[in-house]
Amino acid sequence: MLGAEFEVDVTNIAHGGISVARHEGRVVFVADAIPGERVLVRVTDDAKKSFWRAETVSVVSPSEHRQPHVWAEASVDRAPERRAGGAEFGHIAPGHQRELKRQVLADALQRMAGVDSDVRVEAIDGEPDGTGWRTRLRLHVAKDGTLGPFAARSHTVIPVDSVPLASPEVARLTPLDERFNGATHVDIVAPSGSNAFVLAGDSTSKGRPKPHRVTELVGEREFAVDVRGFWQVHHGAAQTLTSAVQDAIDGDLFDPRASNHDLYGGVGLLAAAVADRFGPTTRITTVESDALATDHAASNLVEWLGSQAVTSRVDRYLQGLRGSATSWRGATVVLDPPRSGAGKEVVDHLVGLEPAQIVYVACDPVALARDVALLRERGWELSRLRAFDLFPNTHHVEAVATLVPAG
């Protein structure tokens, strides 16, 4: 059936920005569709017996929430293999994008963790159509040196004339009409407190690019970060998460002198959020596997005498505490794991250290739900949850959850 075309009625949304339909009893995961639509699809993957994957070829009966795509090069009007990737919700009205993200998050929590949630996905300041927010952009280089994003679900570079999700400064600097022979990608970075950069790179090179320190601003606070290092991409995300983490901490459970931790801490953004809320006596340790980020974290947290930055993988750091007399009783732990989540080993170590509360920052709703399920099995409960639309016109959503021991 590979390449077969047929019409389907789209019924609901699934994790990953794809919709769900059925054809002759078989589940079909459909890209570029909206629940409630009837679309003509083409099968792109039939390797699994239980489901197929398909692309929308054309829309037969459009949803009331369908809009002209914010990125012409990603529109359903183009052949599927020529659609730019990275804006897979751009054909959906912004308010309905947030509703679909809410459904995915709430469904994952209910299905995987047994938690019913009335969470909503909050919009943050920016353009009403969800464009103009990316302060960091990576484009890829085709064999002929031209620049563009990958096509959706492939590694084919698509030439484009615009980058509408980019911030105005990033869009202005993006060299779409230049050739980059010898490079595999180009990064355009516009820090809030430093000059912007256009950086060609080669992902096949074994050496790490030379570090270059830039400054990011969150309110009046400055953060040192490497120009290619991790920093929140949306121009308002760092401030949003700072405030959300501060609000998520139960002040009655917080002890500034306990062994408070920021795990997967990067350059110390969330550790600083904690210390800013609770004052100069706050003890907090940030743990991060990237040594350069840890160096920057040490600099960013220097004003708090009770702070320290540790270079280590989180699982190894926690493993090293196992069997010792170490206890985190009374401690608050901020957890900001990668998209795959924290996982069983980290959760087991955390529970064994007996902290007072965990504030979990999640960029993947399924990983969050999986870890919430692990914590609930070990006697913890979800007490607070907020979600934020930090990636408009994509399927991604950020959530901040508070978990405490049950009872």
Would the pLDDT of 260 be above 80? yes
Chain mean position to CA 302: 28
Residue 85 lies in a domain: no
303 marked as part of a ligand binding site: no
Are 362 and 283 part of one and the same domain? yes
Residue 344 forms part of a structural domain: yes
CA-closest candidate to residue 112, choices 120, 102, 104, 121? 104
| pLDDT tens by residue, 84-134 | 999 999 999 999 999 999 999 999 999 999 999 999 999 998 889 999 999
How many other β-carbons are positioned within 10 Å of the β-carbon of residue 5?
13
Q: From the candidates 225, 363, 368, 400, give the one annotated as an active-site residue.
A: 363
Read off the pLDDT of residues 166-201 as tens digits, 9 standing for 90 and up: 999 999 999 999 999 999 999 999 999 999 999 999
For the chain, the domain total comes to 3
Tokens representing residue 118 in the block: 């009335």
For residue 204, name the pLDDT band (cuts at 50, 70, 90). confident
Structure tokens at 351: 């529970």
- Bridge partners of 359, per DSSP, are 334, 402
Residue 110 and residue 180 in one domain: no
Domain boundary among 179, 210, 241: 210
Q: Is 138 helix (H, G, I), strand (E, B) or coil?
A: strand
Stated length of the chain:
407
Is residue 20 included in any domain, yes or no? yes
- Helices 237-248 & 269-278 angle (0-180, nearest 10): 50
Residue 27 domain-assigned (yes or no) = yes
Considering the chain, what is the average pLDDT of its residues? 95
Same domain membership, residue 160 and residue 200: yes
Rounded Cα gap, residues 257 and 207, in angstroms? 41
317 is in an annotated binding site: no
Question: Does the pTM of the predicted model rise above 0.85?
Answer: yes
Least Cα distance to 175 among 157, 195, 197 occurs for: 197
CATH classification at residue 373: 3.40.50.150
Residue 288 among known ligand-binding residues: yes
Indicate whether 113 and 250 sit together in one domain.
yes
C-alpha dist (Å) from residue 71 to 92, 132, 398: 12, 12, 23
- Looking at the structure, do residues 241 and 331 belong to the same domain, yes or no? yes
CA–CA dist 16, 152 (Å, integer): 12
Summarised one tens digit per residue, pLDDT across range 41-53 is 999 987 788 899 9
> Is there a binding annotation on residue 9?
no
One domain for residues 150 and 277: no
**Based on the domain organization, do 275 and 385 belong to the same domain?**
yes
Residue 219 a catalytic site member: no
CATH number for 50: 2.40.50.140
76 falls within a domain = no
**123 in helix, strand or coil?**
coil
113 with 193, same domain: the answer is no
User: Which pair of structure tokens corresponds to residue 34?
Assistant: 């909206």
* pLDDT tens per residue, range 377-398: 999 999 999 999 999 999 999 9
Domain encompassing residue 19: 5-66
